[in-house]
Structure 1
Amino acid sequence: MATQRLSDLTESLLARARAAGAESADAIAVEGRAVSIDVREGKLEQAERAEAIEIGLRVLIGKRQACVSASDISERTIAEMAERAVTMARLAPEDPYIGLADPAQLAQVRDASALELADPAADPAAADLERDAFEAEAAALAVKGVSKVDQASASWSRQTLHMAATNGFSGGYERSSRAISAVAITGEGLEMERDWAAESRVFQSDLPSATDIGREAGERTVAGAHPRRPRTGAFPILFDERIAGSLIGHLLAAINGTAIARGASWLRDGLGTQVLPEGLSIVENPHRLRISGSRPFDGEGLATAPRTIVDNGVLTGWTLDLATGRKLGMPSTANAARGLSSPPTPAVGNIALTQGPHSRDELIAGMGTGLIVTSFIGATINPTTGDYSRGVSGFWVENGQVQYPVNEGTIAGNLHDMLRRIVPANDARLHRSHVVPSLLLEGLTIAGA
């Protein structure tokens, strides 16, 4: 069984670390399998299969630490890893805030079976993935105006991980993923435009059909044909659901404990202040079923739990692991993410923004004249001041009606002001890890024609 093999590997890593002189240590082992298929012009373009087991070790000596990783799981490699990590730790700078969790803090639930993160169905064959890719390509090409499909893809992966530490923690679980995507093109030469559609699910039975995904890619592409530049001025802007999550993502990055501890965040003084309009909240729920961002424990073995990050518009807390929590004098929020070759760092999982009472179309109808943003091109975002500038493309709206596609525009503002003015639609997709609807903002600056 993969889980037992990975558990044995982490225990071996910890034993070797102790023997090499580590005062404490944690270890992670990951086994993964993945298959991806790409097709183009009715032919198989690329087929890849990957299988690997990787291991990582962090050792602590006093207030010094070091991390090492390897893709070889032989006893010799494990022993060499432990020796190298201990040597590196003795030379590392001191950090007074590092350290494993107290045993009393550790999660009691050590697996994720209740969260349904691994599809019990048989793994799809390469032929199944190839069929999906061809179906997506054919559906995109069937849309009038599509000149070609740049690529259609289907993939599948399954990963098992196990973590253990000298404080007594030992736990692991399995994840699976199934995805289909297509990129369509309309026009030729300088008139060429492209767009895409993609869907991913934990359970393949929840995945939309390849035909629907391909058709959506084609329809989006054709809708963007023959774009113009947007008008210059201050206008309402609607961030389409596909990209609206990025705006909330800037807020989440600004409240990350690492940025706060360094004083390098535009929200460093924002705790307890209004960061969103009244009535809007952001809730993190790591226990949603069949969602990619769910997990029963974090990268330091602490039990995860739902928490309200923004409550009725007011920021209630930072996103912390043990080290950043100690530095800020606060408890960890059980948000540690652990890499194979890096120490734990804070990271947010599943979040949901309060949805509004109106549909996307109703918000557009009320815009008057403005811009719908469907994609970004480059960005200049100052993480310390919140100044925001991005190249955009999308659709121009007049009298509440979509008039024509646009590109080569730039929007600018400041995240402090932008986020306090958002008006959410009710079109968020509930299967996503970040559930964020389309967002309307008033009065941003647009630079265009």
Structure 2
Amino acid sequence: MDDTERSLNLAEDVVRLAKKHGADDADVLVAAGTEFEVTVRQGQIDRLIEAGSKALGLRVFVGGRPAISYTSDFARTVLDQLAQDTVERAAITDSDPAAGLPDADEWRTQFEGDLMLDDPALSDVPNDTKIEMARRCEAASFGFDPRITRSDGATCSTEVGVRALVNSRGFGGGYRTSGASLQIEVMADDEDGKKRNDHWYSVERFFDRLEPPEEVGRKAAERALTHLGARKVPTRAVPVVWENQLAQRLVGIIARAASGEALHRRQTFLMDLEGEPVASALVTIIDDPLIPGRLGSRPFDGEGVTSRRNELCVGGIFSGFLFDTYTARKTGRRTTGSAVRGIAGAPSVGTSNLFMEAGTASFEEIIASVEDGLFLTDLMGFGVNITTGDFSQGAAGRWIEHGKLSYPVTEINISGNLQEMLRGIEMIGSDLFFRGSAGAPTLRMARLMVSGL
């Protein structure tokens, strides 16, 4: 019996215990695995962690009243007491007609195709190899330029594990999962002693798909160096080009506004805009959990609902919201298989592999199209209101002059409104960049207000 089967059997046992103690319905999520993490600083091991973990989350419903508990102790007596306590707690919570498991027609127990969720070779990668990768990464940063003076450490981490979900209505599914990452943050000093830092990282399901350590280290160093000599700029409205890895954050903001939770609370600028143009005709945004090998891929969501590809925006037209079972019932819709769930909490609406489709313009063409504007590489702060669409955040990047990247800029703020920003996308790059479970290409927006601080 492998780890997935053991986890499924355990989940089934706990569902039976919950039913025995009076639950009308129940589901159980089991997660178990091992992780390794090493941080190298100044060539020496600064931190090393190697550990295993296991946890179980139980959700029960009694007369429409939900309750959730979790434990990392799998002893039979502990699990029996957990089930009893959770059922008793549900009996004293408020009833909610929308609470409950998904309908049976929303799931299946047989899954087609290989989503490549597990790297079978990862468990055989020696820890010494991971340590050496971190060392090589840091050495590449220091060796790139003498102005790189400090490292906050290069970290290599891996994890392998299993997730299993079972409910009392006949659903049961599980799968093995894996992940690996390599990251570093470095600091550069200029001749006046001013310091600037930046980072780079690579994260993948498969260890051999990570960017080479030398490349990760070099990119972090290059990015830190580009900040040296940064200037302020006067306030004005100019075209703004979003770096592809930063544009991922913009796509994530749109997904928050397209959440069924935001719709239910009436806290989204996308309210009443389904089927309407909300962006440039160049814009298509997809959430797809069925891309083989991606970190957000999964055969079913956090409630067991069969995964499906969801279109948020196609050709600038807003296609619709993402729902889990609860928000779908609250708004009179059907779940889109978009539930995410941790061990200790209730399911909520989330994304899987979220990305904006690539366009046709090269990065060089986009930069060359700007006579005077900003190449945006970083955002800071929390100035996004998804209810109104108002956007205002601290930023950094490089100025564009006569179609070429010029000096770095800092201590600026960019502001606008999300609807206007989306409608103002004039060019989309062919350089779709995925990191983890998010992807985006380079974007050019017609005009945003850039304010000096």
Aligned twin of 1:289:
292
Q: How does 1:254-269 map onto structure 2 within 5 Å? A: 254-269=257-272
Bigger CA drift: 335-344 or 170-179? 335-344
Counterpart residue type for residue 448 of structure 1: G
1:182 to 184, 188, 191: 184
- Tell me what 2:13 maps to: 12
Question: Counterparts in 2 of 1:6-405, with a 5 A limit?
Answer: 6-110=7-111, 114-123=114-123, 124-144=125-145, 145-187=147-189, 191-405=194-408
TM-score (normalised: structure 1): 0.96
The residue type equivalent to 1:377 in the other structure is M
CA distance in 1, matches of 2:81, 2:193: 56
Give 3-state SS (helix, strand or coil) of 2:4's partner.
Answer: helix
Structure 1 vs Structure 2 CA RMSD: 1.6
Q: Distance in 1 between matches of 2:39 and 2:151?
A: 11
* 1:363 CA drift (Å): 0.9
Counterpart of 1:440 in structure 2: which amino acid?
R
| Equivalent position SS for 1:244 | helix
1:430 positional shift? 4.7
Equivalent residue pairs, number: 448
- Offset at residue 442 of structure 1 (A): 1.7
Amino acid at match of 2:445: L
Distance 2:296 2:228 in 1: 35
- TM-superposed CA distance for 1:444, in Å, is 0.6
* Separation in structure 2 between the aligned mates of residue 19 and residue 374 of structure 1, nearest angstrom: 56
- Alpha carbons 1:12, 1:78 under 8 Å: kept: no
State how far apart, in whole Å, the 2-side matches of 1:32 and 1:396 are. Answer: 46
The TM-score with structure 2 as length reference comes to 0.95
1:444 corresponds in structure 2 to 448
Do 1:3 and 1:172's aligned partners in 2 also have CA atoms closer than 8 Å? yes
Partner SS state of residue 387, structure 2: coil
After superposing the two structures, state which structure 1 stretch, 317-326 or 97-106, moved more.
Answer: 97-106
Is the CA contact (8 Å cut-off) linking 1:291 and 1:431 kept in structure 2?
A: no
* 8 Å CA contact retained: 1:109, 1:296: no
SS of structure 1 residue aligned to 2:29:
strand
**Residue in 2 that maps onto 1:433:** 437
Inter-partner Cα distance in structure 2 for 1:190 and 1:10: 58
8 Å Cα contact 1:136/1:214 also seen in 2: yes
Give the secondary structure class of the aligned counterpart of 1:342: coil
Contact kept? 2:109, 2:171, Cα under 8 Å: no
Q: CA deviation at 1:352?
A: 2.9
For 1:77-115, what per-residue CA distance to the aligned partner results, in whole angstroms no more than 9, with x for missing partners?
2112111211221111121111112323322335x8711
Whole-Å separation in 2 of the counterparts to 1:431 and 1:30: 24
- Structure 1 stretches of 5 or more lacking a match? none
C-alpha separation in 1, matches of 2:141 and 2:110: 45
Residue pair 1:356, 1:424 contacting (<8 A) in 2 also: yes
| Structure 1 residue matching 2:94: 3-state secondary structure | coil
Residue 142 of structure 1: CA displacement? 0.8
Shift of 1:307: 2.7
Q: For 2:107 and 2:406, locate their aligned partners in 1 and report how far apart those are by CA, in whole Å.
A: 56
- Partner of 2:164, secondary structure, is strand
Of residues 379-388 and 131-140 in structure 1, the stretch that sits farther from structure 2 once superposed is 379-388
Distance apart, 1:382 and its partner CA: 1.4
Report if the CA contact (8 A) 1:232-1:446 is conserved: yes
CA deviation vs aligned residue, 1:7-52 (integer Å, no higher than 9, x gap): 1211121111111111110001100211000011111100011211
For the structure 1 residues 432 and 361, does the alpha-carbon distance in structure 2 shift closer, same or farther, using more than 3 Å as the test?
A: farther
- The question of whether the paired residues in 2 share the 8 Å contact of 1:392 and 1:410 is answered with yes
User: Separation in 2 of the partners of 1:207 and 1:2?
Assistant: 26
Residue 242 of structure 1 aligns to which amino acid in structure 2?
A: Q
| Aligned equivalent of 1:424, options 423, 428, 435 | 428
Question: How big is the shift at 1:63?
Answer: 1.3
